[in-house]
Chain A
């Protein structure tokens, strides 16, 4: 019985990883038409270096993701302080309001942003993308940091205040150092969410300002070359690395008070 179970799990992993590995391998295949037999070549990665639009989209993606991570983590952490540590009327309503950005299909959120940004004169482009990405990342930050707050006892802050700390000092000297793994995890998470975001970017990008996923999508639709495999591989590895580091930091325990 256990044998069958393990075999099945391996089959699932094969299913999950086969296309990804085939896709990655094809990025190293000489033929532009993905023809076999396989001949190893790095020409597509070299071609990438010369593909200005793709490189620029890649740089845009990284800049947007970094900015999103910084803004969303700052705002989300602030909100999380209030939602986790204060009691006030309407708190549960505010918590519920974090759900729409996560739960509503991105197609709807994205097209709604397109309409509103057009109608209100905000327009499209980098700033619009940033507004959208931060909004999508904030709920995740609040959730991740909120989970972190649960492991930092509230009475630590009270102890600090009884010793003479103002609430602000107590937060920075006691809570923040203990919360730091969660905040870093949340930032990585926000980075990954933004880096991988396609749907929202697709509606808010302009021909002059796109992100990598948008660029990849239009390349796929126009007829693709293994260059797309090469850049996809890099993107995939980038976000996998971010998530693995996130998992490392967001692991409960270690420096935190378990009691």
Chain B
């Protein structure tokens, strides 16, 4: 023991003179950040800036057409009134999709929180969220199998009522909204669930024991509690929906003309990139306005 103490008491060569001075922190911080932000600049920020520049051009700078800078692309809504109608339709599509998602998703979140526990709840959540992370295109496509004439729904109906005429809601606005609700519902369920899961059972039991009826509990406790989830869910659904183009194309056919499909057309069919760019930025302005309005709530909703 005596020896051990002595051994420990000797310091093992104190300061190593060979240790290099470390690089200043900002050098390594920059080195760590540069690749990511360089990449994002190349792939996202510069493209957005270029698109902004394009939106002020009179024509796509291809070939020999002389290009001038103009504000006319932003006047498109005035010059081409049918765009107003399409814009309105897109907003309505966003509205209905968001509304249905809100109602169905809120109720599903309430059911998850109030009627399930533990492993069952976990399994249900995974099942609900799983399709959300799979290919949206494929899921939209799968609705055509259900909705088309002589599709799944049609056959189901004929099993129940053999004499009924054939139904086909494919290529209608209903089909588009149905497909969109299917695509975005899991989002709303998740945001509402996150907001509701913190509710203490005791609050609701106390309310019930005080004689509160279920609608009182719904209006006074559940909806206010779920409000941040409902709002962040609504924002996160409304934004992509008003910019969607493949759902309207596949499920809406000829009636599925939206801002999204019009913008797509400018790039793939009409080659009017400046118009496409100005429409995109108009859409982006709407998106930013929505974000700015709800950013506080969003931050709370997604942090929790």
Q: Which A residues have a C-beta under 8 Å from some C-beta of B?
A: 1-6, 8-9, 12-13, 15-20, 22-23, 26, 34-36, 75-76, 78-79, 81-83, 86, 88, 94, 97-98, 100-101, 103-109, 111-117, 119-120, 131-132, 134-135, 138, 142, 166-167, 192, 195-196, 198-199, 203, 213, 216-217, 220-221, 224, 228-229, 232, 235-236, 239-240, 243-244, 247
Q: Which of B3-11, B25-33, B69-77, B222-230 contacts A (4 or more CB under 8 A)?
A: B25-33
18 contacts between A and B (CB under 8 A): A1-B115, A4-B115, A9-B124, A16-B128, A19-B145, A23-B138, A26-B145, A36-B155, A79-B32, A88-B26, A100-B44, A104-B48, A107-B264, A108-B263, A111-B276, A199-B245, A216-B141, A235-B134
- CB pair A235–B26 under 8 Å, yes or no, is no
Residues of B within 8 A of A240 (CB): 130, 133-134
Interface size class of B (residues with CB under 8 A): 35 or more
In the assembled complex, how far is the CB of residue A72 from the closest CB belonging to chain B, in whole angstroms?
9
- CB pair A213–B40 under 8 Å, yes or no, is no
- Kindly list 18 other residue pairs between chains A and B, CB separation below 8 angstroms, not including A105-B239, A220-B144, A236-B134: A4-B111, A8-B108, A12-B189, A19-B139, A23-B138, A23-B142, A36-B150, A79-B36, A86-B29, A104-B284, A114-B267, A115-B54, A115-B273, A116-B50, A117-B47, A120-B50, A213-B135, A220-B141
With both beta carbons as reference points, the residue of chain B lying nearest to A166 in the complex is identified as B22
Residues of A within 8 A of B96 (CB): none
- CB pair A111–B280 under 8 Å, yes or no, is yes
In the assembled complex, how far is the CB of residue B148 from the closest CB belonging to chain A, in whole angstroms?
8
- CB pair A23–B141 under 8 Å, yes or no, is yes
Residues of A within 8 A of B51 (CB): 108, 111-112, 115-116
With both beta carbons as reference points, the residue of chain B lying nearest to A135 in the complex is identified as B43
Residues of B within 8 A of A97 (CB): 37, 40, 45
Complex: A107 Cα to B114 Cα, angstroms: 38
Within 8 A of A (CB), among B218-263: 239-240, 242-246, 249-250, 260, 263
- Type the 1/0 row for B112-132, where 1 means its CB is closer than 8 Å to any CB of A: 101110000000101110110
With both beta carbons as reference points, the residue of chain B lying nearest to A132 in the complex is identified as B43
In the assembled complex, how far is the CB of residue A251 from the closest CB belonging to chain B, in whole angstroms?
10
Residues of B within 8 A of A213 (CB): 135, 137-138
Q: Which B residues have a C-beta under 8 Å from some C-beta of A?
A: 22, 25-26, 28-29, 32-33, 35-37, 39-40, 42-48, 50-51, 54, 61, 104, 107-108, 110-112, 114-116, 124, 126-128, 130-131, 133-139, 141-146, 148, 150-152, 155, 182, 185-186, 189, 214, 239-240, 242-246, 249-250, 260, 263-264, 267, 273, 276-277, 280, 283-284, 287, 291
Complex: A243 Cα to B40 Cα, angstroms: 25
Residues of B within 8 A of A135 (CB): 39-40, 42-44
- CB pair B35–A75 under 8 Å, yes or no, is yes
- CB pair A94–B37 under 8 Å, yes or no, is yes
- CB pair B280–A108 under 8 Å, yes or no, is yes
- CB pair A103–B287 under 8 Å, yes or no, is yes
Complex: A179 Cα to B137 Cα, angstroms: 33
- CB pair A131–B42 under 8 Å, yes or no, is yes
- CB pair A216–B26 under 8 Å, yes or no, is no
Complex: A219 Cα to B35 Cα, angstroms: 37
In the assembled complex, how far is the CB of residue A186 from the closest CB belonging to chain B, in whole angstroms?
13
Complex: A231 Cα to B276 Cα, angstroms: 32
Q: Which of B40, B136, B151, B280 contacts A198 (CB 8 A)?
A: B136
In the assembled complex, how far is the CB of residue B50 from the closest CB belonging to chain A, in whole angstroms?
4
Residues of B within 8 A of A17 (CB): 131
- CB pair B111–A8 under 8 Å, yes or no, is yes
In the assembled complex, how far is the CB of residue B299 from the closest CB belonging to chain A, in whole angstroms?
11
Residues of A within 8 A of B284 (CB): 104, 108
With both beta carbons as reference points, the residue of chain B lying nearest to A82 in the complex is identified as B32
Residues of A within 8 A of B110 (CB): 5
In the assembled complex, how far is the CB of residue A259 from the closest CB belonging to chain B, in whole angstroms?
22
- CB pair A20–B142 under 8 Å, yes or no, is yes
- CB pair B130–A167 under 8 Å, yes or no, is no
In the assembled complex, how far is the CB of residue B95 from the closest CB belonging to chain A, in whole angstroms?
17
Residues of B within 8 A of A9 (CB): 108, 111-112, 115-116, 124
- CB pair B124–A112 under 8 Å, yes or no, is no
In the assembled complex, how far is the CB of residue B46 from the closest CB belonging to chain A, in whole angstroms?
6
In the assembled complex, how far is the CB of residue A197 from the closest CB belonging to chain B, in whole angstroms?
9
- CB pair A6–B133 under 8 Å, yes or no, is no
- CB pair B48–A100 under 8 Å, yes or no, is yes
- CB pair B29–A82 under 8 Å, yes or no, is yes
- CB pair B182–A167 under 8 Å, yes or no, is no
Residues of A within 8 A of B242 (CB): 105
In the assembled complex, how far is the CB of residue A145 from the closest CB belonging to chain B, in whole angstroms?
11
Complex: A171 Cα to B61 Cα, angstroms: 50
Q: Which of A12, A78, A88, A236 contacts B138 (CB 8 A)?
A: A236
Residues of A within 8 A of B32 (CB): 78-79, 81-82, 86
Complex: A81 Cα to B139 Cα, angstroms: 36
